Structure 1
Amino acid sequence: MLLTVEGDLDIDTATELQHHLANQLHHGRRHFLLDVSSVPFMDSSGMNIILRVYQEARQTSGGVYVIRPTSAVRRILDLTGVSITVPTVESVEEALELVDARRSDAPPADSGPEEEPPAP
């Protein structure tokens, strides 16, 4: 799901984004491409939403991809280490490549946990 976020992503707006993303997760969406190229400012509330959705999406073999962050948003993501955890890319195409790579690495839906070989 490609979502374009515009305007400040702060304590006043993060709740709306959180509700929207939670609703999408509830309806089976697993991959979130967040285009934040029109976000001039993000505080810890926005960052926490991105991390929370990332963690929830990972539980369903999904992911979150931050696309084209402005310099101010990139700085927050880098300073907090979020950009180490959540992929940050420069284009929708690059994000889609990561989604495809993730899908090909995921185990089949019907496979159970792998068993370790018996100890000698």
Structure 2
Amino acid sequence: MTLIIICIIISSFSFYAYVVSYFISPHMKNEFKRFNMEKLGLLTIILELLGATGLLIGIEFNLMLTISSLGLGLLMLCGLVVRIKLKDSTWISLPALFFMILNLFIFFESIK
């Protein structure tokens, strides 16, 4: 298995886990309330679900991989900006930073 496939699997299954946790744990919804972005919570989850699915489909269809990885990378950039504006600690902001870097890595690999 190549590094890019491993990265795709890690990213897609992590986003699937975020999607599931949004519906079964109040913590995720409370985070959107804390961000004062409660109305964007469901949209964000839908985008994460589409992105994660697109990554897996992108294993066979490179255009889908390019679009999905860029979309997730930008989504995580937005999440990171929100966390910085709220002055969240570095530790709390690390997942957004990690997934932004991971998906931008997948994006740049997909356009080579």
When normalised by structure 1's length, the TM-score is: 0.30
Indicate the structure with greater strand content: 1
- Higher RCO (C-alpha under 8 Å, 6+ residues apart): 2
TM-score of the superposed pair, with normalisation by structure 2: 0.31
